[in-house]
Amino acid sequence: MSENRGGILVYAVFVASWIASGLIHFPQLSWSIYSDIVSFWYRPESGEMLRAGAAPCFHFFFEYPPASCLTIYVSAILGSGDIIRYYQTFFYLSLPAYLAIAWSIIQVSRISGSGWLGLVFAVSPSLVFYGIYNFDHYAAALAGLSTAFLLRKRYFISGLGAGLGFVFKLYTALLIPIVFAETRWTERIHYLLGFIAGAAPLYLAQAAFNPAGLIQFVEYHSGWGLENAWYIWIFWDQFSPTAKMLGTLLGVFLVLQAALIRGPMLPRMFLAVSSWLTMSYIFTPQMVIWLIPFLAAVPRSVLPYWPSLEISNVAIILTWFGDYNPVMPPSPPQVMVLIRAVSLALMIVSVYRNEVKKL
């Protein structure tokens, strides 16, 4: 396949994924599937404020970083108090993110020399079911752009992309240890300055408008229980402090290990993000989208495990609403969580054995 034809195909796949995701979650359709974006409109603690023109994070507490809040605010303002227009605005605002992910994985495939086979991951069911769902596609797009510019040695721009991603979802911070392990001091400074330039303005604005907001953000997430963490099967307690502490500490340890081990940079980025997700006490299904920018550069040996990761991840939302507690085993969603964890663990082991241990 020629590069031009391959690139066009990737863009076509992502546009199709964007359209499909928008249709799946379109509100007020009898067959639509739940999405957080729609739920924000109806939630008592946020819906009335949004319809009144208040900005989440800046005028009232909202459990997401400030760029995610602004995206919802713009959607609500342009929606003029109507759920359909609100959703459509968010849908159209999401298209640049889908195109940016497509561009970034094309660049990663070309620059890393991984070839076109890795682009099979563009056909991600998770991006369809969890794209127009939350804010993870924005963060993944900016992580992908950051990675592409990092490969081009544009360190400030790479840091800027990661910093902007950090104000959508915090996960781009997981890349910093890998970047620092791969760069010299001057390059680290340029990257860090870019990261600060991307992240600081909105957080400072939030602190100015809503001084308690950042503290509430930390308290909210630190007080959250285990959500789709595989080790709920071990502890059988959603709010076990031991489980949360051990999961977080092991996650941090594995991220640092990914930074310290020898091996190609992109597979180690995959190891850092996937290891954190595996051990995090919160692993909502939309977070699988975080992996997409790095999958194009992982070895082909992960391909046998990827379908079960995707199928089980999609099945979480499809089985969530039933006559059982979905966050506790042995409910169907938690069975899917266990299958997803095994699949991702096998992918991690495969990347480690093929890209790191062989050195």
Residue whose C-alpha is closest to residue 105's, from 125, 91, 90, 122: 122
pLDDT band at 298 (very low <50, low <70, confident <90, very high): confident
pLDDT band at 3 (very low <50, low <70, confident <90, very high): low
What is the average pLDDT across 200-206? Answer: 97
pLDDT in tens, 103-153: 998 988 887 766 666 677 888 999 999 999 999 999 999 999 999 999 999
Which token pair is 266?
């992109």
Task: Please say whether the beta carbons of 112 and 76 come within 8 A.
Answer: no
- The pLDDT of residue 114 is 66
- Percent of the chain at pLDDT > 90 equals 83
Would the pLDDT of 1 be above 60? no
pLDDT band at 2 (very low <50, low <70, confident <90, very high): low
- The pLDDT of residue 108 is 87
- The pLDDT of residue 115 is 67
pLDDT band at 354 (very low <50, low <70, confident <90, very high): confident
pLDDT in tens, 314-341: 999 999 999 999 999 999 999 999 999 9
First and final C-alpha spacing in the chain: 31
What is the average pLDDT across 230-246? Answer: 97
- The pLDDT of residue 117 is 64
What is the average pLDDT across 172-200? Answer: 97
How high is the mean pLDDT of the chain?
93
pLDDT in tens, 267-295: 999 999 999 999 999 999 999 999 999 98
Round to whole Å and give the CA distance between 353 and 212.
Answer: 46
Residue whose C-alpha is closest to residue 79's, from 63, 93, 90: 90
Contacting residues for 266 by C-beta, under 8 A, at least 6 apart? 108, 112, 147, 294, 297, 298
Which token pair is 66?
């400030």
